[in-house]
Amino acid sequence: MDEPFIRLAASIEAGEKVLADWDAVSDSLCDGEGWPLDDRYGVRQQQRDADMWNEFAPYLTEGTALIVPAQDILPDLDQGERLKHRWDQRLQTLREALDGG
């Protein structure tokens, strides 16, 4: 598979892990109404945001060079894998974020 697509997939997976880890921690540190029980909750939110920034900040300058080749590869992917991993939607979301960034 093409290097830009591999890098993009790795960033998406890393970002999803950051958010999943946050959800697990956040759920355990909030009461039933969603209010934080931990005085370091805000610090943890900042760390989550910094971790996400580290994954995706390079795309503000390199984004088009990575997203365009990934979009070009989409037609060559196995249709089942393409749908299973929602590559079309993920790339569209990244394109919108890049345009907004």
Per-residue model confidence as pLDDT tens digits over 22-74: 888 887 888 888 788 888 888 888 999 999 888 878 777 777 777 788 888 88
pLDDT bracket for residue 21 (50, 70, 90): confident
Distance from chain centroid for Cα 78 = 22
Q: Closest by alpha carbon to 30, among 42, 38, 22?
A: 38
Q: Is the pLDDT of residue 1 over 80?
A: no
Q: The pTM is what? A: 0.57
- pLDDT for 46 equals 92
